[in-house]
Amino acid sequence: MTEQTKNSWLRPSLDWLLVFVPIAIAFRFVPSLENPTALFIISCLAIIPLAGWMGKATEHLAEHLGQGIGGLLNATFGNAAELIIALFALSKGLEGVVKASITGSIIGNMLLVLGLSIIAGGAKFKIQKFDRTAASTTATALTLGAIALLVPSVFHIVAAQVPVANGGWTPQKEQSLSLAIAIVLFATYLGTLYFSLVTHKSFFVGEAMQGAAQEVGEEVERSGEHWSKGKSIAVLVIATAFVALISEFLVGAVEDARGALGFTEVFVGVIVVAIIGNAAEHSSAILMAMRNKMDLSLGIALGSSLQIALFVAPVLVFASYLMGHPMNLEFTMPEVVAVAASVLIAQQISSDGESNWVEGLQLLAVYAILGILFYFLPETVVGH
């Protein structure tokens, strides 16, 4: 091991949390250590660095595959950790946690990640500028996600007032409505990818992608390592396997843990699961903002929310059919309001093409208010 590599491991890093991976395995399989609450907390901490290694491996692999396929790979695997956790929760019938994690990931990226990034960047730079056209385009696309969450809830409220004999609400109709919306969202996601990676590639990847390539080059230079394609694939496979394993531990312990900790199902999904699934991505966005790369920072934060709304949500609906218990897209009214409010304030902040630290504080304030709402919301109100 070189002196440079040794020093890199001594610096504060999310990789230090990798120690919780074997600890989680021990708590899961050693009978004398059985403690669902401890297993839940340890699993949360263990997933954070594993998700980071998935992201790192994806970035290195993308370098070998060219800009187009690399961009597609990054877009597809950008929220893989959250998707894996949600799939395990779905397989256990925890539909409320799954829906809440969708909501939490969308609002978490727009409010928590972007807020922390703007504050971190604003602490070093008085005003930070970014491409407002690209940011506003992404923020506008997020409105589609908010509409997709709102429509099934509105349908339920309106159709429930009509007798079933006259075409009123039924679970089957709501399921069909949700499936149709999921198909529209997924088709829109494919169209968005084609737009950003093919027909209008320069519009999105001009300075931002050059900046990203420069950042990757600088990181490689600093670390003194360049991953081969084989190493990138191996790390991606291994990290994904461990994320799946630890996700199974986490989901298996969530019911006992939330009871012991006094959390509702929706709070666990909106706040806890969303934060741990995005933690590695959070650190990247903050780091880019501190280097005055606000285009990249906004791309990470808003792009991740967009991917959750247009890709992860419909994929989970499709997967629920394969698992034999279809999931609908009817969210509770507090969840719908939270997403709509987040989209609104993200659009306002990204509309002028510049940011300062107080705007980051405002985003964090909204996130804190919503977190308090979901913490105090009774279980009976949020039950699906």
Query: pLDDT tens-digit profile of 347-367?
Result: 888 888 888 899 999 999 999
Where do we find the tokens 């990798």?
18
Q: Is pLDDT at 278 greater than 90 in this prediction?
A: no
- What string of DSSP letters covers 179-234? HHHHHHHHHHHHHHHHIIIIITHHHHHSHHHHHHHHHHHHHHHHHT----HHHHHH
Over residues 23-61, the pLDDT tens digits come to 999 999 998 988 999 999 999 999 988 888 887 888 788
Q: What is the pLDDT at residue 120? A: 92
* % the chain with pLDDT above 70: 84
DSSP structural state of residue 273: I
Q: What is the pLDDT at residue 383? A: 44
* Coil/strand/helix, residue 129: strand
Q: Which residues contact 295 (CB under 8 A, 6 or more apart)?
A: 130, 131, 134, 135, 207, 208, 211
Q: What is the pLDDT at residue 382? A: 45
Over residues 55-112, the pLDDT tens digits come to 788 878 877 776 556 666 766 676 788 888 899 999 988 888 899 999 999 999 899 9
* Coil/strand/helix, residue 319: helix
Q: Is pLDDT at 376 greater than 60 in this prediction?
A: yes
How far is residue 279's CA from residue 28's CA, in Å, rounded to a whole number? 23
Q: What is the pLDDT at residue 218? A: 52
Over residues 284-300, the pLDDT tens digits come to 888 888 988 888 888 88
In order of their start, the domains of the chain are 10-382 (1.20.1420.30)
Measure the CA angle with vertex 363, ends 141 and 338; round to 5°: 60
Residue in 102, 89, 179 with CA at minimum distance from that of residue 145: 102
pLDDT-derived band of residue 202, with 50, 70 and 90 as boundaries? low
pLDDT-derived band of residue 261, with 50, 70 and 90 as boundaries? confident
Find which of 114-118, 197-201, 227-231 is predicted with most confidence, using mean pLDDT.
114-118
* Coil/strand/helix, residue 351: coil
* % the chain with pLDDT above 90: 26
Q: What is the pLDDT at residue 41? A: 92
Q: Is pLDDT at 199 greater than 80 in this prediction?
A: no
Q: What is the pLDDT at residue 11? A: 65
Mean residue pLDDT of the chain comes to 82
pLDDT-derived band of residue 384, with 50, 70 and 90 as boundaries? very low
How far is residue 245's CA from residue 84's CA, in Å, rounded to a whole number? 10
Q: What is the pLDDT at residue 258? A: 85
Specify the long-range contacts of residues 8-15, CB closer than 8 Å, at least 24 apart: 8/223, 14/48, 14/49, 14/52, 14/279, 14/280, 14/283, 15/49, 15/52
Q: Is pLDDT at 220 greater than 50 in this prediction?
A: no
DSSP structural state of residue 262: T
